[in-house]
Chain A
Amino acid sequence: MANAHSATSGASGVLLAVRGVAKRFGDKEVLKSLSLDIAPGEFITLLGESGSGKTTLLRLIAGFEQPSSGEIWMNGDRLDIQPAHRRRVNTVFQQYALFPHLSVRDNVAYGLRVKKTPKIEVGGRVDQALKMVKMNEFADAKPTRLSGGQQQRVALARALVNRPQLLLLDEPLSALDANLRKQMQSELKSLQREVGITFLFVTHDQEEAMALSDRIALLRNGALEQVAAPREIYARPATAYTAQFIGQTNLLKASVKAGIATCGSLKWPTSASDGSTLFSLRPEAIQLASDVLPVSARWVRFRGTIQQQIYGGASEQLEIECGAGQPLRARIPSRAALGRDQEFSFSADEVVQVKS
């Protein structure tokens, strides 16, 4: 393992390397031999349901837990054998974990002071960090007097002032209400571009992951399901689980024979090999046939009955019964009421083969 690593440790492009890390709590295996490379400067999100192991992985990197097996490397040094306080990693905690007995200023200065940074430098860096998160007016306040969003900013400043190589964020926005959340998302993204620090973000919210990340690492039961950029993971989900977890989808169980997939009354050309295969078709890929102009061989047309039509402002959600074994969900641009029987169409390129 160590040899295999030394071959890659010198290579640029890897800040943090997780190598075969497993974590057991008693009999329960929370992480199953997981490997992941993180590039310097990237915004990577660990996405997963509760119990998927995402927070455990973050805590292993922060140093609050020890891996049961495997190694973690940062910049070519073993990280997992160092105590938490020596790691050049800082964490923004889910409930912020601000020190209640210290003012905002002293909270932000804490990391610099315990590392014996010269006094003159501390003052300047703390002010700068507080300005960066627009909290300089609250420097003398006690954290308990602040709102959730303000505490969030202080927690960010307290972590970033130490100029970590890697910032870990443990569901930092989950305690905020919806509006503030959206606002903090965009601030977080621009802050990350500004400071250029690598962000490892943990969330269970797939929309948040899509909005913020350069790459998403989807975890399921302690193993990586798929690691890819948001657009790719959405357009090309590798598994049925990914397709269902990220966005909505129609899962079609089809039998393939000689380049043609058949699912009930639906048929479409595919490059998949013969046999029984799962496919994912996103709701927005299904259109009214009358809306689709270039009708080529790659476009599949089918007739269906609209069972339900839900108006959603810019779009409408349809449930279509078309003899595919289950009703298909479609999302089309809003329009006046439709007749029950319609002709629909989708491109065979939009149908993605997924592993079950």
Chain B
Amino acid sequence: MYSRAYKTLITAPPLLWVGLFLLLPYLLMFAHSFWLVRDGFLVHEWNLQNYHKLIANPLYVEVLLRTMRIAASVTLLSVFLGYPLAYYLSFHAGARKELLYQLVIVPLWVSYLVRGYAWKTILGSDGVLNGFLQYLHITHEPVGALLYSPFAVIVMLTHIYTPFVFLPIYASLEHIPRPLVEASHDLGANRLTTFLRVILPLSMPGLLAGATFAFVLSLGDFLAPLLVGGPSGTMIANIVQSLFGAAYDWPLGAAISVCILLITITLLSLTERFEKRWSFK
């Protein structure tokens, strides 16, 4: 069919790209995690000291656990917001479907930073939400805990990732042949039973894909905690950032990155297995 030269030519750029910008950095990171810093200089001496520090220091474990808690909360919240939205759009929106779909997508075009600062003005001490609460006399002084807390991080990340969860769920709902829903009603199932026994199982691949998006992206996020997290909202990526920056401990930063990578890979392979079980093509 195609000549060998042509095949080589066409596969070289992507291979080069993956090798240079993906595999090589990962390899370097992996190597760094087994080196150490002595007197402010990076020393290429193989050791397990970084991993030992990581386990021994409760700070890292605590932040890692907090990060996973935040990522899990964001995932749950975006699924609980994104699924009903996708369901409504796919099954009941009728003629308004296109418009509503665009409304869900539009926020994705707005810069991440702009959305972050928007949440700052909403959640701050003299922000919109506090003003509103006082106006309603629910509180008499500003609630400080709204901003600079894990809560603020969860709110902001949920806002940002809900469209990412919505999209694959919506796609999988749109792919369910409508006669299946009619067949379920025809066989005596009401709406709830039809949802639980037909629609939910058939949209599972989309739900899993969306949830994985939200979890993995939240896990590695460092801008949201930086903007609205405060000290109590610090996440693991902030620690990595400071280790690679001001603290100048690349080996420890690399070791933490390897841990995050391992968690992500484990999760991805798990969801892939689930997705296989739930796909019927």
Contacts and interface: CB of A to CB of B under 8 A. Distances in A.
Contacts of A22: none
Interface string B179-201: 11011111111100100011001
A95 B177 contact: yes
A84 B280 contact: no
Interface string A57-92: 000001110000000000000000001111001110
Interface in A39-60: none
A101 B177 CA distance: 13
Nearest to B204: A101
A100 interface: yes
A114 B193 CA distance: 7
Contacts of B182: 62, 64, 84, 91, 93, 97
A142 B198 CA distance: 15
Nearest to B183: A97
A99 B180 contact: yes
B278 interface: yes
A93 B281 CA distance: 20
A115 interface: yes
A114 B187 CA distance: 8
A144 B187 CA distance: 20
Given A110-B197, A114-B193, A142-B280, A97 B188 contact: no
Interface string A157-176: 01100100000000000000
A111 interface: yes
Given A93-B183, A97-B179, A97-B182, A114 B188 contact: yes
Contacts of B193: 114
Contacts of A142: 280
B227 interface: no
Interface in A111-155: 111, 114-115, 142, 144
A158 B193 CA distance: 17
B186 A90 contact: yes
Interface residues of B, number: 20
Contacts of B177: 95, 97
B187 A97 contact: no
B201 A101 contact: yes
A63 B179 contact: no
B60 to A, nearest CB: 42
A162 B179 contact: no
Given A85-B189, A115-B188, A144 B281 contact: yes
Nearest to B187: A111
A62 B187 contact: no
Contact of B198 (A86, A93, A99): A99
Contacts of B180: 97, 99-100
Interface residues of A, number: 27
A91 B189 CA distance: 14
B194 to A, nearest CB: 8
B202 interface: yes
Nearest to B189: A114
A192 B186 CA distance: 20
A95 B198 CA distance: 17
Nearest to A93: B179
Given A114-B193, A114-B197, A63 B280 contact: no
B280 A162 contact: no
A94 B198 CA distance: 19
Contacts of A158: 187
A189 to B, nearest CB: 23
B183 A84 contact: no
A100 B280 contact: yes
Contacts of B190: 83, 85
Given A97-B179, A144-B280, A144-B281, A162 B201 contact: no
A260 to B, nearest CB: 57
Specify which of A64, A89, A114 lies most central, judged by the most chain B CB atoms within 10 Å of its CB: A114
B185 A63 contact: yes
B274 to A, nearest CB: 13
A101 B185 contact: no
Contacts of B179: 93-95, 97
Interface string B140-152: 0000000000000
Contacts of A93: 179, 182-183
Contacts of B184: 99, 110, 114
A97 B202 CA distance: 13
A306 B38 CA distance: 110
Contacts of A89: 186
Contacts of A114: 184, 187-189, 193, 197
Contacts of A101: 198, 201-202, 278, 280
Nearest to A91: B186
26 contacts: A63-B185, A64-B182, A64-B185, A64-B186, A84-B182, A84-B185, A85-B185, A85-B188, A85-B189, A85-B190, A90-B186, A91-B182, A91-B186, A93-B182, A97-B182, A99-B198, A101-B201, A101-B280, A110-B197, A111-B187, A114-B187, A114-B188, A114-B193, A144-B280, A144-B281, A159-B187
Given A64-B185, A85-B187, A85-B190, 14 more contacts: A64-B186, A84-B186, A85-B189, A89-B186, A91-B183, A95-B179, A98-B183, A100-B180, A101-B280, A111-B188, A114-B184, A114-B189, A144-B281, A162-B187
Question: Would you list the 9 A-B pairs with minimal beta carbon distance, nearest first?
Answer: A111-B187, A97-B179, A100-B280, A97-B183, A114-B189, A84-B185, A91-B186, A115-B188, A85-B185
